[in-house]
Every structure is written in structure tokens, then in C-alpha cells.
Amino acid sequence: MNRHLRLAAWALGISVLARLAWVLLLPNGMNFVDLHVYVDGSANLGSGHLYDYTDSSKTPDFPLPFTYPPFAAFVFYPLHFLPFSVVAVGWVLATVAALCAVVWLTLEMIVGKDAMREQGWRTVAVSWSALGLWLEPVRSTLDYGQVNVFLVLLALLAVRSTRWWLSGTLVGAAAGVKLTPAVTGLAFLAWRRWASAIWSGVVFFGTIGLTYLISPGETRKYFGELLGDANRIGPVGSATNQSLRGALSRFAGHDVKSGPVWLVAVLVTAVLAYFAWRTLRSDDRLGTLLIVQLFGLMLSPISWSHHWIWLLPLMLWLVYGPLRKAPGARVLTGFWLVNTVIGVPWVLGFAQSSIWTIPRPAILSWLGAVDVFGVLVTFAWLIYVGRLSSARPADRSPEPVPHPVR
């Protein structure tokens, strides 16, 4: 092990120990508000009261309900048999391991499996894993005990696999736990992986069928009454909701819902995403996946800042991917890095008078759209770079694998 790899390993180890110390030693270290909902809420599966459950012990201004499909309760159900402290520590360690896997798989999709055997790329992977733990989407995911990193990992594993049944199973199961990973199916369609796309839908509906057999009433209630009720998930106008609907609602001073303003914004975003995708090389699977996932975050009615784990793979792609030498790539990377290290939406969460009050000062509304603007600029940048490459065909040729040491 060379010196750089040892330093990176130390940085990662210290970061993990710091997080565990936070959990075990600080008074609020065991808050894990979402993990409490997963564990305690899922214990109600089959009782008929799964969607009546709320937990207000840590959030008195907003009693947190169980907002996930009943298949999520089926997956989390065994956790309530364990002491919560054991679940919490295990969850932190498993999240860290999943984050390291996310970084590794992202780099592998950029430089290939052979390159990842080199110490230089291993150093890069460990270094970015250590840094990733301090980015706001990951920090908040760990604070809340959220499931986001695991869902990103499942999507990357699905895209990495060439087996249609495995790819479809991973995406379908992930969508059964939380609906948003279903957008990965658009990537399968872009690559004409029809079997994977169809099978992911079959598996997703299979999760519904399974929970219908276990608890038909709760399954009917979720998919018949609660699906699409954004207000049940949380306050749409809160600064930490970085979706199109959240940003537009803060600008308008009221919830725009799925009205004409939102529909126009979605159409514009979809057009930009499509033309951004068209500029990518056919073998750039990671680039396509990132565009699809960013579009999904924009489209969802609620995209809390901790849902934006995909910004870490995006930065890796910008730094080491095929467009790393394109004009503006470093500036765009710097924007996302500063934004996620600071956690602008998270900071604004302390500046808002109430999570429920949508009207707010203009400066807070504009700053509160930081991720939305960032995605639109990223898509526009890709289109611009694509036009430059079209004007210079030689630039479209595959570049050699980048050197890991910068």
C-alpha cells in the first residue's frame, strides 16, 4: 500500500469513527427520525394501521407518517425485533459500505474494471468515499437514517449487470421500496434493453401482489388513496425540497401542484434532458444514467436535499469522465462540490420561518432553487459541449483512460 492510499484509508477511517462518535456520544446522535419510521412503522404491517402510524417524538411540528409502499414495510419488518441502538449503528455502517460501493462502481463505469485494480484508482475511490461522507446529501442521509444510498447502489448494480433478469429485479425491487428508483427504467429504454425494462415492471407489480396477499387493505389504501399525495410526504414549499414543484412553489408563493406552470417546467426539463442525452457517446452508460436520475429528482413532487446522492457520481463523472477536458467541466464540478459541502438547501432550512410557510423573501426563493438551477445548467452545458464536439468531429473519438493522480 503506497503513501497516498494509506492517507486516503486513514481519512476514511477517521470519517467513519467521527460519524460513530456523533451517533454514540452526542445527545441527539440517535435521532434517526426516518429510521424510526422504517422500524416502528413497518411493525404495523398487516394490522390495518400501517398508514395511520406517525412518529412525532423528534419532529413535533410534523408527525412523520409511514409514506412508503407496503413492500418497504415488508422489507423493514424484521428490524423491529432488534434493539434500536443495534439497528442504528448497523445502519450507519451499512450506509458507509454502500457509499464506498457507489463510488467504486461509478469509477469502474468510467475507467473500467482493469483500471480499478491499480493502486492509483483505488486511492481515488477511497479518497472520494471519505469526502462523500461529508457532503450534505450523505450527511443528512446518515442523520435521518435514510435509505437513499442503498437505492443508488441498487441502480448502479442494475446498470452494471448485463443480465436482463438481474437488472430488472434490482430496479423493480428498489421501486417497490421507494417509487423514485423506477425512473431507472428510462435508462433501459434509452439503451434498448427492452427485457430489463419490462422485467423491472413485472417485479415491481410483483411486490404489489406480494403485499396484497399479506395485507390487501393497506395495499389498496396506499395505491388507491395515498399515492401522489405530496402533502402527506412533507411540506412542499420547504427549502429542502429541491424538486421543480418545490422551487416553483416558493417562487409563486403557493403550491403550484401539477398545474400548467409545473407541466411547462417539466416539458422544458424533459427537452433539455433529451438533447443532453443525445450529446453523449453511445458507450457512456454512466452519463445516460445520471441524466435520467437528475430528471427523476426534478420530476418528483418531493426531492429532499438528502435524496440527491446522485450528485456524488455526477461529480466523479465530471472529473474523470469523457467530458473532463470540456470547457466549463471544472467550473461545474466546483459548483456542485461547494453546494454539497455547504449544503445550501440544508442551511436555508434554518433560515425559513416555518417548513409549512411557502411565501418567503425573494433571496431565499432564488437560493432555494440551487439544485434545480444546477441541473438545468448541467443539461444546457452538455448540449453546448455536444455542439462544440459536433463542430469538431475529431473530439468525438474515445479518450484514453484518465490518470488517477491529478
- How far is it, in rounded angstroms, from Cα 254 to Cα 352? 15
pTM of the model: 0.94
Beta-carbon contacts of 34 under 8 Å, excluding residues fewer than 6 positions away, are 64, 144, 145, 146, 147
The yes-or-no verdict on residue 397 having pLDDT over 50 is no
Give which of 123, 98, 112, 132 is closest to 285, Cα–Cα.
112
> What is the grid cell recorded at 333?
464540478
Report the sign of the C-alpha dihedral through residues 108, 274, 147, 28, in that order. positive
- List of residues 6+ apart from 18 with CB closer than 8 A: none
Q: What is the pLDDT of residues 139-148, one digit of tens each?
A: 999 999 999 9
Task: Report the pLDDT value the prediction gives residue 58, as an integer from 0 to 100.
Answer: 79
Q: Report pLDDT for 395.
A: 44
Q: What is the crossing angle of helices 285-299 and 260-278, to 10°? A: 180
Of the listed ranges 46-50, 56-60, 108-112, 214-218, the least confidently predicted one is: 56-60
DSSP state of 241: B
Q: Are 129 and 12 in contact (CB under 8 A)?
A: yes
With H, G, I as helix, E, B as strand and everything else as coil, classify residue 19: helix
What is the average pLDDT value for the chain, to the nearest integer?
93
What are the cell numbers at 224? 388507491
- 152-189 confidence digits (pLDDT tens): 999 999 999 999 999 999 999 999 999 999 999 999 99
What is the secondary structure of 53-65 as a DSSP string? Answer: -EE-SS-TTSPEE
pLDDT for 337 beyond 50: yes
In the numeric block, the cell 460519524 is attached to: 19
Distance CA 130, CA 135 (A): 10
What pLDDT score was predicted for residue 392? 56
pLDDT at 390 over 90: no
Q: What share of the chain is helix, strand, coil (3-state, %, to 5)?
A: 70, 0, 30
Where residue 67 falls among pLDDT bands split at 50, 70, 90? very high
Burial class of residue 192 (count of CB atoms within 10 Å of its CB; 0-12, 13-18, 19+): exposed
pLDDT digits (tens, 9 = 90+) for 94-103: 999 999 999 9
Q: What is the pLDDT of residue 50?
A: 95
**What pLDDT band is residue 322 in, cutting at 50, 70 and 90?**
very high
Look at residue 394 in the predicted model and tell me its pLDDT: 44
What ranges do the domains of the chain cover? 1-163, 234-406
Percent of the chain with pLDDT over 70: 96
- Judged against a pLDDT cut of 50, whether residue 406 lies above it is answered with no
Asked if pLDDT for residue 231 goes beyond 80, the answer is: no
Query: What pLDDT does residue 150 have?
Result: 98
Which phi and psi (to 5°) does residue 370 adopt?
Answer: -60, -45
Q: Quick one: pLDDT at residue 401?
A: 62
Beta bridge partners of 65: 54
Angle between helices 148-160 and 136-144 (to 10 degrees): 120
126-135 pLDDT, tens per residue?
999 999 999 9
